[in-house]
C-alpha cells in the first residue's frame, strides 16, 4: 500500500518533539559563554587604542579608549599560589572595563607561562580561571593577556593554545616597547613576537602595546621620552604590517610616570606624531592605492646590497633603502604611466632629508617641482595638497638632517 503523503511531515514533527528538549538544554549551557563559540574576526582596518593616563596629553583624533586591568593590582592578588575570590576579580574587571566596545586586556605578569613544567601548568590553571571569571563579567568583548605572547617559550606554546581553546574571542597583546634608539632592534623584537603568534595560532589577531617612554631599566634612556620620529615610525610600521590595531600605554603607573612626567607629557613630540598618524589613517590617502608600490626604483647610490632602492616601494615596512654618506642624492620611481600625484608619505629611518624636493617628469629628463622644503623633520612625513603629474617621481635630496645616510623605509604616492 503506498505511503500517505502526510507521513513524512508527521515523522518530522515527531522527531522535532524528541529533539527539542535536547536542543533547549544545549542552548542553556551555551548561553552564558556566547563569545567563546568561535574566533572573533580580525577587525577591518587599523584601530589605535588609547590606554594612556597622561593628564596633560589627551590623544583624541579618533583614538579609541582601551580597558586594562593593571599588573600592579593583579600581581598582589596572585602572589605565590594565591588567587582572588571571584567577587574580588569581578569587581576589579568591572572597575577597569569602562569601554564595552573595546578589548579587555588583563595584565598579570607574575603568571607568565615560564619556568619549569609544573610552574607553567599552575600559571595556566590560574590564568584560565581568571579569564573565565572575566568572561562572565564581559560576555561579548575580546579578552586577552598583556605580554603573555612574548613571555611564552616554545616549550610552553601548547599551554597557550589550551588557554585560547577555552575562549577564542581573544587576541595577543605583546609588548612593543622601546629599549634603544635604533629602529632595527625594535623591529626585530616585534617580528619575533609576530612569528611566535603565528606558531601558536595564526587566526588570533595581534595588537601590540607601544609606550612613548623608553622602557624603565634602559640605562640612561630609562623613562625618557621616545623622539617623535621614532614613535611615528613605530606606529606607521604597525599599521603597514597589516595588523588590526595597537594600544598606546603610559601615565597610569605613578612608579614610572611621576608628577614631572605627567606635566611634561603634553609637550613631547610623541603626541603630535600620534595625532598626525591618526589623521592620516582616517584620510582617503590611507585607503587609496599606492602608486609607487612595486614599481621600479633607482637611486644615485645605495649603501650595500641589502639596502637597495626597491626596498622602499616593496610594501614591506621592515625593508629600507639607504644611500651613501654624501650629499646630494636622488631617489626615483617609475610609475609606469603618467599619473597625477597629490600626496606622499615618507617613512624615514634615522637618516633623513632636511632639505629636498619632490619632482615629477614625463620623460625622466625634464623635471617639475611639486614640493620643496628646507625644514624636513624625518620620522614620518605626510605631504598633502601636491599638484602635478608625470610618469617619474623623484626625491632630489640636497641636505641630510643627521650625519647618517639618507634612508627610507617606505615611500608611498597617492592621487587623492
Cα distance between residue 154 and residue 283, in whole Å: 40
Note whether 211 and 274 are same-domain residues: yes
pLDDT digits (tens, 9 = 90+) for 146-173: 999 999 999 999 999 999 999 999 999 9
Domain residues for the domain of 319 are 297-414
Q: How many domains does the chain have?
A: 2
> Is residue 130 in a domain?
yes
pLDDT digits (tens, 9 = 90+) for 98-124: 999 999 999 999 999 999 999 999 999
Over range 343-372, report the average pLDDT: 98
> Is residue 76 in a domain?
yes
pLDDT digits (tens, 9 = 90+) for 60-97: 999 999 999 999 999 999 999 999 999 999 999 999 99
Confidence of residue 13 (pLDDT cuts 50, 70, 90): very low
Q: Which three cell numbers stand for residue 187?
A: 623591529
Confidence of residue 18 (pLDDT cuts 50, 70, 90): very low
Confidence of residue 323 (pLDDT cuts 50, 70, 90): very high
Note whether 258 and 306 are same-domain residues: no
Cα distance between residue 374 and residue 77, in whole Å: 56
Which residues does 285 contact at the CB level (< 8 Å), separation at least 6?
343, 345, 382, 384, 414, 416
Least confident of 36-50, 206-220, 384-398: 36-50
CA angle 117, 110, 231 (to 5 degrees): 115
Cα distance between residue 331 and residue 322, in whole Å: 10
Strands 143-146 and 104-106, by their bridges, are parallel
pLDDT at 37: 31
> Is residue 17 in a domain?
no
For the chain, give the mean pLDDT: 91
Would the CA dihedral through 4, 9, 11, 17 be positive or negative?
Answer: negative
Note whether 306 and 371 are same-domain residues: yes
pLDDT exceeds cutoff 70 at 322: yes
Would the CA dihedral through 15, 20, 22, 26 be positive or negative?
Answer: positive
pLDDT at 44: 55
Among 248, 282, 316, residue at a domain's last position: 282
CB burial of 198-231 (b: ≥16 within 10 Å; e: otherwise) equals eebbeebbbbbbbbbbbbeebeebebebbbbbbb
Note whether 107 and 168 are same-domain residues: yes
pLDDT at 85: 98
pLDDT exceeds cutoff 90 at 4: no
pLDDT digits (tens, 9 = 90+) for 179-226: 999 999 999 999 999 999 999 999 999 999 999 999 999 999 999 999
Bigger pLDDT: 27 vs 144: 144
Among 232, 259, 282, residue at a domain's last position: 282
pLDDT at 256: 95
Amino acid at each position: 500500500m503506498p505511503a500517505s503523503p502526510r507521513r513524512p511531515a508527521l515523522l518530522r514533527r515527531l522527531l522535532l518533539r524528541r529533539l527539542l528538549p535536547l536542543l533547549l538544554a544545549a542552548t542553556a549551557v551555551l548561553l552564558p559563554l556566547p563569545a567563546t563559540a568561535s574566533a572573533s574576526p580580525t577587525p577591518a582596518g587599523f584601530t589605535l587604542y588609547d590606554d594612556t593616563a597622561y593628564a596633560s596629553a589627551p590623544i583624541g583624533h579618533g583614538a579609541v579608549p582601551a580597558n586594562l586591568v593593571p599588573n600592579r593590582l593583579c600581581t598582589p592578588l596572585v602572589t605565590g599560589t594565591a588567587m582572588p575570590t571571584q567577587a574580588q576579580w569581578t569587581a576589579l574587571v568591572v572597575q577597569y572595563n569602562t569601554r564595552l566596545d573595546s578589548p579587555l586586556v588583563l595584565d598579570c605578569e607574575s603568571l607568565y607561562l615560564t619556568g619549569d613544567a609544573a610552574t607553567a601548568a599552575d600559571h595556566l590553571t590560574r590564568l584560565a580561571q581568571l579569564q573565565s571569571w572575566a568572561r562572565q563579567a564581559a560576555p561579548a568583548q575580546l579578552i586577552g593577556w598583556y605580554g603573555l605572547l612574548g613571555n611564552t617559550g616554545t616549550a610552553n606554546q601548547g599551554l597557550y593554545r589550551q588557554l585560547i581553546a577555552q575562549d577564542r574571542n581573544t587576541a595577543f597583546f605583546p609588548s612593543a616597547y622601546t629599549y634603544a634608539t635604533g629602529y632595527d632592534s625594535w623591529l626585530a623584537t616585534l617580528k619575533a613576537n609576530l612569528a611566535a603568534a603565528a606558531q601558536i595560532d595564526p587566526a588570533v589577531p595581534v595588537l601590540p602595546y607601544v609606550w612613548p617612554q623608553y622602557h624603565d631599566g634602559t640605562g640612561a634612556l630609562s623613562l625618557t621620552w621616545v623622539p617623535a620620529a621614532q614613535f611615528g615610525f613605530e606606529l606607521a610600521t604597525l599599521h603597514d604590517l597589516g595588523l588590526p590595531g595597537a594600544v598606546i600605554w603610559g601615565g597610569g603607573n605613578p612608579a614610572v610616570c611621576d608628577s614631572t612626567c605627567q606635566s611634561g607629557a603634553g609637550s613631547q613630540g610623541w603626541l603630535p606624531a600620534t595625532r598626525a598618524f591618526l589623521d592620516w589613517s582616517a584620510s582617503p590617502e590611507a585607503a587609496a592605492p599606492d602608486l609607487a608600490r612595486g614599481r621600479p626604483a633607482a637611486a644615485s647610490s645605495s649603501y650595500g646590497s641589502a639596502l637597495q632602492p626597491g626596498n622602499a616601494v616593496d610594501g614591506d615596512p621592515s625593508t629600507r633603502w639607504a644611500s651613501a654618506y654624501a650629499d646630494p642624492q636622488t631617489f626615483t620611481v617609475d610609475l609606469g604611466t603618467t599619473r597625477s600625484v597629490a600626496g606622499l608619505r615618507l617613512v624615514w629611518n634615522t637618516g633623513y632629508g632636511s632639505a629636498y624636493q619632490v619632482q615629477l617628469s614625463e620623460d625622466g629628463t625634464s623635471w617639475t617641482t611639486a614640493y620643496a622644503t628646507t625644514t624636513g623633520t624625518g620620522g614620518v612625513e605626510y605631504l598633502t595638497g601636491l599638484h602635478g603629474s608625470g610618469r617619474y617621481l623623484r626625491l632630489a635630496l640636497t641636505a641630510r638632517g643627521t650625519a647618517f645616510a639618507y634612508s627610507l623605509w617606505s615611500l608611498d604616492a597617492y592621487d587623492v
